[in-house]
Structure 1
């Protein structure tokens, strides 16, 4: 059990809305959402352990990440109105809920309920390909632009590419290796049916990392699941189409 309390950004007043970023992000990833929503909500965006100002975990596991999220909520003395998890953040959110986490609303954005199939050849090949640059001595900053552009619907949007590259470039090689090794262990597929929180599964129509069809299947497996697919959005919809992303959130919150 870890006692680590992550760093975070906290703006606005009202019901608490908490954002959990993905593999290449940090607390600033959701700046467009905090700017838009902080007039109505208390918006909190964390640095996951090992990101931004947060200390690293000795064991970077989804169980420990969920515990760190609980530690943060206890420090802030809040029960979230809504938890929004993007990609890896959505995996952390699912683990947190499976371990007793409670919110009024849950948003699983561009994520999955299982990463491939733990132990499968696909996962081994994925991990080998992603670790290869690190084994060759590269740092995440060396391939951050290539990775960021591969996630986008339109890689010519420099205002979108830049923050994605900047956040990923801050990650150390050791931490990135730790994150990847953990990522391929994720499997909460059998727990979707147990999610009792009203849940929005939010997809991007051009997202090849977390395809819309998979997000739709997730929503159908969650008793109070809803599905929204954003047009002209790759895997970083919160940056690519922030107005549509924010509107999907507020429409869901207002129900």
Structure 2
């Protein structure tokens, strides 16, 4: 379906949950994870600009990507939604929450952070861009994806890792370089957490190399209304590493925002 500038998938009915993927990903990372939620919710997953089937934008900044998501939500007549952002998708979600808070009834930072890049991380982004330009995207993806998973999960997650690598290799180089620069230059958005009236859910992996526990602990107390769930033996990819527990945690948060028929969901055998 594509009545918006962004490619998307849509299924289910009820309160809306919108899913934004991360860097070098696509809406396809959510396919299996969100399917059980369709019993209760209208699920929308977007390809962010330049990813998947969405066209290349002229501006990869988090603010510009957020505007495109907001416009797509308007096109789809979504008045309010729970916005779930994985990794870079969380940076976009925070930018949207800052500029368009009235379109949200909740925010989930799914292995993501409001903190800006440290100087070390900024330098790492630049080194990654140089590596991609010199050696190509295929070689980069072969070394990028596996470390995002907790070491104990890598053997059992081989199919997911391969899927992630294939999605990443299909991502335009312009998108990869543009997003690396945009993530490097994104501002500190902890003030958004401090001032928002939206309920915020922090979903974190205890073995996440990209968003360490220390970073989550710096932020999870900032919103007026927040919940935090720490996933044991999980790295940066909870939707693959422990989908049932990750989904259950997200569902419990969603149920605090809108009344839902929990029994119908549990009868579907999703847990």
Q: TM-score, normalised by structure 1?
A: 0.92
Q: How far 1:124 sits from its partner (Å)?
A: 4.1
Q: Who is 1:147 aligned against?
A: 144
Partner of 2:63: 63
Higher helix share: 2
- What does residue 112 of structure 1 align with? 113
> How many angstroms does 1:114 deviate by?
2.2
Q: Report the count of equivalent residues.
A: 248
Aligned with 1:134 (options 132, 135, 138): 132
Question: Secondary structure of the equivalent of 1:83?
Answer: strand
Residue 170 of structure 1 corresponds to: 170
Following superposition, the deviation at residue 137 of structure 1 comes to 4.2
Distance 2:80 2:232 in 1: 28
Q: Please give the alpha-carbon distance, in whole angstroms, between the structure 1 residues aligned to 2:22 and 2:241.
A: 15
CA distance in 1, matches of 2:65, 2:122: 23
1:242 paired residue number: 243
Partner residue, 2:230: 229
Runs of 4+ in 1 over 3 A off after TM superposition: none
Please report the TM-score for the alignment, with normalisation by the length of structure 2: 0.87
Give the Cα–Cα distance (whole angstroms) in 1 for the partners of residues 81 and 66 of structure 2: 17
Structure 1 counterpart SS, 2:6: coil
Instruction: Give the conservation status (yes or no) of the 8 Å contact 1:84–1:107.
Output: yes
Cα pair 2:61 2:186 within 8 Å, conserved: no
Question: 1:15 matched to which residue of 2?
Answer: 15
CA–CA distance in structure 1, aligned partners of residues 254 and 135 of structure 2: 45
RMSD: 1.4
**Conserved 8 A contact 1:107-1:200:** yes
Which runs of 5 or more residues in structure 2 are unaligned? Answer: 257-271
CA contact (8 A) 1:81 1:104 kept: yes
Tell whether the 8 Å contact from 2:6 to 2:49 is kept in structure 1 after alignment.
yes
Aligned equivalents of 2:141 and 2:91: distance in 1?
Answer: 22
Secondary structure, aligned partner of 1:38: helix
Native 8 Å contact 1:15 1:42 kept in 2: yes
Counterpart-to-counterpart distance in 2, 1:223 and 1:87 = 22
Q: CA deviation at 1:81?
A: 3.2
